[in-house]
């Protein structure tokens, strides 16, 4: 069970963040409204929220997931792999320091939290344009000491590992069709996300609920069939900036 989440409000500079989505400019007011609804959903799931004020210096800073990897017992401060985001982790470190024992990814390692998926006692670390081999090795070393089983997996054609794969719990993963050949993931019950619903691979299990993006009926129905309670959230403005449901919080 998660009890807390860190979130950060989108800054007025949000639209000048990094994106390859080609879906147009996000509307700031609507992004704020969608962010509020996201926070309400996390509260409904039973989480106490630590809400950080917006930081206009970092247009992508509402995507807090990339700045750390957190569990109930410890946190690892990441080192964002895009120079434009390097430094976002400093504030997150200050916030987490009183709450959890912390480790850090250090230069020349880079690692975005979006590349790290926990599934019970296993961690999957994606090697992407953001997470380099050194960063993955540093994280593996930290997690090895905590007795987790670690898999390091190359990621192609998607921004982060969790853009394409997410663990729901009970051995179920949502996985985009094009990457479901990964051997390391073959032991999971795989719910395949088809080509016309790719964005919905990034759903988020929080305690008794699965948060899913609005507008993906096949994924919704497949998740419901597994017996999960669902909260649907409109994510249109975050999708325009390549961000999904998991990216907007750190949960522990």
Number of residues that bind ligand CIR (CB under 6 A): 18
Task: Choose one: 141-149, 169-177, 203-211, 239-247; the region binding ligand CIR (CB under 6 A).
Answer: 239-247
Among 8, 45, 66, 185, binds ligand CIR (CB under 6 A): 66
Is the separation of the CB atoms in 90 and 77 below 8 Å? no
Interstrand relation of 172-176 and 165-169 (parallel, antiparallel or unpaired)? antiparallel
Count of CB atoms within 10 A of residue 170's CB?
12
Is the separation of the CB atoms in 41 and 231 below 8 Å? yes
Among 18, 86, 95, 192, binds ligand CIR (CB under 6 A): 18
Closest CB to ligand CIR among 130 and 220?
130
Among 47, 78, 185, 241, binds ligand CIR (CB under 6 A): 241
Using only C-alpha atoms, the chain has a radius of gyration, in whole angstroms, of 17
Is the separation of the CB atoms in 18 and 82 below 8 Å? yes
Count of CB atoms within 10 A of residue 127's CB?
18
Q: Which two tokens stand for residue 88?
A: 């976002």
Q: How far is the CB of 57 from ligand CIR (least distance, A)?
A: 15
Closest CB to ligand CIR among 81 and 225?
81
Asked if 128 is part of the footprint of ligand CIR (rule: CB under 6 A), the reply reads no
Catalytic machinery residues:
160, 247
Which residues form the interface with ligand CIR (CB under 6 A)? 17-19, 60, 63, 65-66, 82, 85, 114, 159-160, 163, 241-244, 247
């Amino acid at each position: 069970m998660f009890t807390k989440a860190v979130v950060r409000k989108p800054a007025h500079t949000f639209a000048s963040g990094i994106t390859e989505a080609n879906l147009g400019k996000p509307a700031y007011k609507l992004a704020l409204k969608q962010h509020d609804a996201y926070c309400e959903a996390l509260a409904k799931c039973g989480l106490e929220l630590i809400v950080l004020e917006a930081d206009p210096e970092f247009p992508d800073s509402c995507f807090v997931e990339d700045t750390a990897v957190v569990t109930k017992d410890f946190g690892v401060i990441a080192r964002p792999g895009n120079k434009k985001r390097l430094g976002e982790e400093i504030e997150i470190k200050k916030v987490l320091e009183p709450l959890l024992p912390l480790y850090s990814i250090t230069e020349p390692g880079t690692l975005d939290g979006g590349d790290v998926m926990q599934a019970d006692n296993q961690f999957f670390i994606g090697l992407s344009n953001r997470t380099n081999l050194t960063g993955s090795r540093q994280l593996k070393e930290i997690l090895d000491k905590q007795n987790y089983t670690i898999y390091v997996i190359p990621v192609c054609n998607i921004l982060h590992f969790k853009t394409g794969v997410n663990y729901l719990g009970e051995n179920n993963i949502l996985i985009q069709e094009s990457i479901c050949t990964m051997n390391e993931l073959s032991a999971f019950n795989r719910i395949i996300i088809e080509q016309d619903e790719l964005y919905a691979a990034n759903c988020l299990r929080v305690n008794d609920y699965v948060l899913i993006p609005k507008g993906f009926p096949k994924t919704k129905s497949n998740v419901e069939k597994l017996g999960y309670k669902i909260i649907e959230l409109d994510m249109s403005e975050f999708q325009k900036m390549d961000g999904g449901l998991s990216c907007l919080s750190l949960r522990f």
